[in-house]
Amino acid sequence: MAGTKEIKRRIKSVKNTKKITKAMELVAASKMKRAVSSTLASRIYAEYSLDILNSISTHIKEITHPLFIDHEEPSGKVLVLLITSNRGLCGAYNTHAIKKALSLLKLQEEKNIDIITIGNRGDTAMRRVGKNIIASFTELPTNITLSDVDPITKIVLKGYKDKEYDKVFVIYTDYVSALTQKPSTKQILPINKVELEKLIDELDDTEGDNERRIKTKPQEYLIEGDLNKLAGFLAEKITQMQIYQMFLESNASEQSARMMAMKNASEASGEMIDDLTLVFNKARQSNITREISEISAGMAAAE
């Protein structure tokens, strides 16, 4: 059994660690609250965007804008946008996103794949497996705005319009709740007409107060001019908003995962302190018992 001094030193060390993890938990909780508020607020924009899409859904099969159709001469290249964090200590948040990316890369292994990484963790993982990274963004602000996403959106849209890429995927973490974050893979380009029609139908049928669902209002829009031009403009704006929304979802998921990881670490530290305190008390009692026995033995020998 370790000596009492060593046990006391370990208890002090664990207590200091618990203070740090508790502070990190409180900071993450504060950041999570702001991130979740931003994530939920941005869904209002999506509601009105999908409302407009709903109004042109009767003409969707007539749309021939490049963002809605597959390339006639495929380039054989795919662009993947991977969203992770710059720091660790957030549980399995980064691990799940990276595993999702590796699964997608395996499915698309017959293609030439370019990757845009967001965050140091994803960048390091993709470089480790030898993937071609065309851009890396590691200094984006925590409270990201729509303008911060502009450079990334321009790379994505230009690459697809120039027929450099056949498909564009985004790998991010969808925020479900403080306890649940779901890594997801979404194809954002080309915009799938069938999936878009299905999405609009699902939104029209949505009822109840589920915050994860966006309910469109029945609106009548008078569309004048070139339908393809309108659809293309709308598609670019919605693509930018989709990427922005994925950043918000990932940020909220990261802060939630970090808060829960630090909470679990604090609780584990408390349990470890209790166990070490019990060991310390046993060791001290053993020392006291031994000393009493030695005194008693000495007195008996003196008699």
**How do residues 23-63 score in pLDDT, each as one tens digit?**
999 998 888 888 888 887 876 776 666 666 666 655 666 67
Give the pLDDT confidence score for residue 52 in this predicted structure. Answer: 67
Q: Which two tokens stand for residue 95?
A: 């691990």
Q: What are phi and psi of 76, to 5 degrees?
A: 80, 15
Q: What number is the average pLDDT over the span 76-85?
A: 92
The confidence band for 211, taking pLDDT boundaries of 50, 70 and 90, is: very low
Contact 174/85 with Cβ under 8 angstroms?
no
Contact 205/186 with Cβ under 8 angstroms?
no
Domains of the chain by start residue, with CATH:
4-27+266-295 (1.10.287.80), 29-257 (3.40.1380.10)
State yes or no: pLDDT of 144 exceeds 70: yes
Give the pLDDT confidence score for residue 87 in this predicted structure. Answer: 87
Q: Which two tokens stand for residue 260?
A: 């829960």
Give the pLDDT confidence score for residue 239 in this predicted structure. Answer: 82
Q: Which two tokens stand for residue 128?
A: 């480790």
Give the pLDDT confidence score for residue 208 in this predicted structure. Answer: 43
> Considering the chain, what is the average pLDDT of its residues?
82
State yes or no: pLDDT of 216 exceeds 70: no
Give the pLDDT confidence score for residue 220 in this predicted structure. Answer: 64
State yes or no: pLDDT of 221 exceeds 60: yes
Q: What number is the average pLDDT over the span 278-284?
A: 87
CA distance linking residue 86 with residue 239, whole number of Å: 24
**How do residues 88-143 score in pLDDT, each as one tens digit?**
889 899 999 999 999 998 888 778 899 999 999 999 999 998 889 999 998 888 88
Give the pLDDT confidence score for residue 210 in this predicted structure. Answer: 45
Which residue, 64, 70, 28, is CA-closest to 229? 64
State yes or no: pLDDT of 198 exceeds 70: no
Give the pLDDT confidence score for residue 209 in this predicted structure. Answer: 43
**How do residues 233-274 score in pLDDT, each as one tens digit?**
877 887 888 888 889 989 999 999 999 999 999 999 999 999
**Length of the chain as a residue count:** 303
CB atoms inside a 10 Å sphere around CB 108 = 16
Give the pLDDT confidence score for residue 245 in this predicted structure. Answer: 85
